[in-house]
Amino acid sequence: MSYNKTPSITAETINPKVKIFSYEPCGDIVRRAERLQQEMDENPDSLPFPEIIHCNLGNPQALGQRPVTFFREVLSLCDNPALLDREEARALFSACAIKRARKIVNSIPGKETGGYTNSRGVKSLRQAVADGISARDGYPSKPDDIFLTDGASAAVNMMLQILIRSHEDGILCPLPEYPLYSASIILHGGTMVPYNLTEDRGWGLEIFEVKRCLEEARSAGLTVRAMVVINPGNPTGQVMSITNQEEIVEFCRKEGLVILADEVYQENVHVENKRFHSFKKVARSLGYDEKDLSIVSFHSVSMGFYGESGRRGGYMEITGFGDDVKGEIYKLASVTICPNIAGQILTSLIMDPPKLGDESFESFEAEKERIHSSFWKRAKTLEKAFSSLEGVSCNNIEGALYIFPRLHLPSLAIKAAKREGVSPDVFYTHRLLDATGIAVVPGSGFHQVSGTIHIRCTILPDENKIAAMIPRLKAFHESFMNEFRGSEPYMNDLRR
């Protein structure tokens, strides 16, 4: 008997859609950083820096941000409900956390966090989210419109799977974009229809640019089904004005487009003259209800001041869809049985935190204010550091967790990158990592506008790491610029 010795699956025979997309926040730069970390572990003094500083991903707690006490107390009690009736619990946990955990546990099937739940999430937790949305927006929200999900990413994937039927279906997406969208559109077989944000106007959205892109896509035979908006922006950090949001609502209503509103950074607004407003709130304030416009909004426990990225909690609110469509979405959600219960609980907590009069209110607000004020200070420190570098321009950060500075590199550096077969931003970020241990993401990973060079840097939650990072960054950048101007390179001691 003979056997086929050819591997049953190879890189050439896997789904070609998987090979097409890239996800740079966890891509080559991270793998390179992991190799350097292994080298440091094996030979501690082999590299010219003492540690890797990961600025590639919004991952607050892994980078030093402390978890919010109230959230962790409630999670602990929900996972150990026997503690609720023990005397010691009153000494270890606030009465507010005990009361909330008891309420949540009593609403979970079987009163245990280890079992399956409804595929949309526990009804009482969806009610808490709906109540939180209603309080935030001033317009009603219903629990049947809420799907709790394993982070916002799972919700985005689910909606794109519902919307995309073939490569002839297009989805409008901003450039620069968060690569979740381009990757998911490719995987689901659709076509991304990019529209450019305007960097010299604070990464603003020009509605005439979106109209132009829509018309070109339709002329090419595409059926454009939805428009992605990210507010506050990732990777660009801008916060949309009400006027801009109103333009988008009117545009999508007129053109019959679903608004896919990525609002995961709604807690991260850092300027006094702007506030977060949900797209549903803006649409309702213009007098449009569910019969006029379809909106899906996404939120997550990963960002904000809570930073519970690893808990994979989130929700999507679906409005303007018929019950038959919601039934199909429910069926799709059922394929994975249900979202994880810790994420469901946390999602309910971020939308229904302690209120005035609750025992935990003052301590909760103090933690929130401490994290917000610290973030603003760190953001301005990094913004100032990047802006001080030769050939680097940096827009003011208004929201989210990132800085997206633009690099104006010498022509010799661009030629050197071309010789190595990489883009200039990849060339720069790899050189930065190898010299300093600082891992940032090349702007091409976010589909930056052609002809521009950017990097995305996460604003670290640890002030000491920022203090350690800035001298290394400045020393590297000065050396890099000198090298590719043709003068003799020099490098300061990067261990300082």
How would you write the pLDDT of the chain (496 residues) with one tens digit per residue?
A: 556 666 778 777 777 777 777 766 667 888 888 898 888 888 888 888 888 888 887 777 666 778 889 999 999 999 988 888 888 888 888 999 999 999 999 999 888 888 889 999 999 999 999 999 999 999 999 999 999 999 999 999 999 999 999 999 999 999 999 989 999 999 999 999 999 999 988 898 999 999 999 999 999 999 999 999 999 999 998 999 999 999 999 999 999 999 999 999 998 888 888 899 999 999 999 999 999 999 999 999 987 777 788 789 999 999 999 999 999 999 999 999 999 999 999 999 999 999 998 889 999 999 888 888 888 888 889 999 999 999 999 888 888 888 999 999 999 999 999 999 999 999 999 999 999 999 999 998 888 888 899 999 988 878 888 888 999 999 999 999 999 986 444 344 433 3
Backbone angles phi, psi at 195, to 5 degrees: -125, 140
- Cβ-based neighbours of 236, under 8 Å, separated by 6 or more: 176, 197, 203, 395, 400, 402, 404
Handedness of CA 307, 313, 314, 315 (dihedral sign): negative
Specify the pTM.
0.91
Euclidean distance between CA atoms 195 and 6, whole angstroms? 45
Interatomic CA distance for residues 81 and 317, integer angstroms: 30
Query: How far apart are alpha carbons 427 and 65 in whole angstroms?
Result: 31
Q: How far is CA 255 from the centre of its chain?
A: 27
Which tokens go with 487?
Answer: 């003068």
